[in-house]
């Protein structure tokens, strides 16, 4: 039984659900779930929780995500990427300068209100937006608050004089629920031209990055070395204050008891036999259970 997080470098053309399906077959384990859906054409970091680690999925969603991508001025689509139908075209007479693009990007920093693309998995009245779109039904898209902590131009944009289109690369760090496709589309609106996302790769999510990621093919070829690809549950809580409990306290923890701890923190990772067994949170003068991981070995 595996208990931990496998950081998959998802290939283009696969859904996040496909990744979970393949891992279940590969690992012969049912209790598997991913944290943070990636669209099929988007590649990169997809953290997958296995065994006891599935209890962490809600917490994994809360951590920031980072992306590297490309966009193009001069074209817009209904899906905000190249998969959709063209909704607007406009030849640029001259390219935007790096300063103009970056200034536009800066306007999206901080907490902003986003409207998801019509081709997205957001549910309205129990039905996903892309289902309404495919049926040609207009529906009010729900607004959401997201936080953008980084939106930066990378390198020098390239301008195709004949086509009147300008391509640019960017890096983004953002909160959960952010639609990067929308950020590219909205940047175009800010600058007064159509814009579309042309490529996207997630470089970090849930506290993990590409340096820890493995493709499904690599994993399948190295099942005899599986341990080196599994991030232990404890790695997720490395920034939490920790406390090593004794045998007596361990018995109390197993029963979900409230305990007193000589530590000043809002949350603490309780360790027994060098493994995190529970996350406790401060409640008055004592600590009470917040997340139980008793089978973490």
pLDDT tens per residue across span 29-38: 999 999 988 9
Contact 27, 216 (CB under 8 A): no
Position 125 scores a pLDDT of 79
Average pLDDT over residues 106-130: 84
Helices (H), 192-228: 216-221
Q: Which helix (H) or strand (E) holds 281?
A: strand 275-283
Average pLDDT over residues 1-8: 93
Position 118 scores a pLDDT of 74
Share the mean pLDDT of the chain.
93
Position 132 scores a pLDDT of 81
Neighbours of 149 (CB within 10 A): 12
Our CA angle for 119, 207, 121, nearest 5°, is 15
- CATH code that applies to domain 4-63+206-235: 3.30.2350.10
Q: How confident is the model at residue 126 (pLDDT cuts 50, 70, 90)?
A: confident
Domain boundaries, the chain: 4-63+206-235, 65-202, 240-292
What order of strands is seen across the sheet that includes strand 267-272? 242-244, 267-272, 275-283, 286-292
CATH architecture of the domain with residue range 65-202: 2-Layer Sandwich (3.30)
DSSP-derived secondary structure letter, 248: H
What's the distance, Cα to Cα, between the start and end of the chain in Å?
A: 10
Nearest to 86 by CA among 74, 68, 69: 74
CB contact burial 266-292 (16+ within 10 A = b; e otherwise): eebbbbbeebbbbbbebeeeebebebb
Model's pTM, two decimal places? 0.91
Q: Name the CATH code of domain 240-292 (choices 3.20.20.210, 3.40.630.10, 3.90.1150.10, 2.30.130.10).
A: 2.30.130.10
Instruction: Decide if 4-63+206-235 and 65-202 have a common fold.
Output: yes
Q: How confident is the model at residue 219 (pLDDT cuts 50, 70, 90)?
A: very high
Nearest to 156 by CA among 81, 102, 92: 102
CA distance linking residue 174 with residue 105, whole number of Å: 13
Helices (H), 63-206: 98-106, 129-134, 180-191
The structure tokens 């980084």 sit at 150
Average pLDDT over residues 165-173: 98
Comparison of pLDDT for 116 and 33, the residue scoring more: 33
Q: Is the pLDDT of residue 162 over 90?
A: yes
CA distance linking residue 71 with residue 152, whole number of Å: 12
CA distance linking residue 29 with residue 176, whole number of Å: 28
Any idea which residues carry the catalytic annotation?
39
pLDDT in tens, 64-95: 999 999 999 999 998 899 988 899 999 999 99
Q: How confident is the model at residue 178 (pLDDT cuts 50, 70, 90)?
A: very high
DSSP-derived secondary structure letter, 118: S
CA distance linking residue 131 with residue 124, whole number of Å: 10
pLDDT in tens, 233-281: 999 999 999 999 999 999 999 999 999 999 999 999 999 999 999 999 9
How do beta strands 208-209 and 195-205 pair? antiparallel
85-89 contacts, C-beta under 8 A, 24 or more apart: 87/194, 88/194, 89/194
């Amino acid at each position: 039984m595996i208990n931990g997080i496998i950081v998959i470098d998802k290939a283009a053309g696969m859904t996040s659900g496909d990744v979970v399906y393949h891992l279940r077959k590969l690992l012969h384990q049912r209790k598997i779930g991913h944290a943070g859906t990636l669209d099929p054409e988007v590649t990169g970091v997809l953290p997958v929780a296995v065994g006891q680690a599935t209890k962490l999925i809600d917490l994994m969603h809360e951590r920031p995500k980072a992306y590297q991508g490309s966009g193009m001025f001069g074209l817009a689509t209904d899906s905000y990427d190249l998969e959709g139908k063209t909704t607007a075209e406009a030849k640029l007479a001259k390219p935007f300068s790096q300063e103009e693009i970056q200034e536009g990007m800066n306007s999206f920093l901080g907490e902003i209100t986003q409207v998801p693309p019509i081709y997205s998995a957001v549910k309205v009245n129990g039905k996903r937006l892309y289902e309404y779109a495919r049926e040609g039904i207009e529906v009010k898209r729900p607004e959401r608050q997201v936080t953008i902590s980084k939106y930066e131009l990378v390198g020098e944009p390239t301008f195709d004089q004949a086509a009147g289109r300008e391509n640019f690369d960017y890096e983004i760090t953002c909160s959960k629920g952010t639609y990067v496709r929308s950020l590219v589309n909205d940047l175009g609106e800010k600058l007064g031209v159509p814009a579309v996302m042309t490529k996207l790769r997630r470089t970090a999510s849930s506290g993990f990055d590409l340096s820890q990621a493995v493709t499904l093919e690599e994993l399948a070829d190295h099942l005899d070395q599986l341990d080196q690809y599994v991030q232990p549950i404890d790695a997720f809580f490395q920034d939490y204050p920790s406390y090593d409990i004794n045998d007596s306290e361990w018995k109390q923890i197993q029963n979900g008891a409230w305990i007193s701890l000589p530590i000043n923190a809002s949350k603490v990772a309780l360790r027994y036999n060098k493994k995190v067994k529970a996350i406790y949170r401060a409640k008055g003068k004592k600590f009470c259970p917040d997340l139980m991981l008793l089978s973490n070995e």
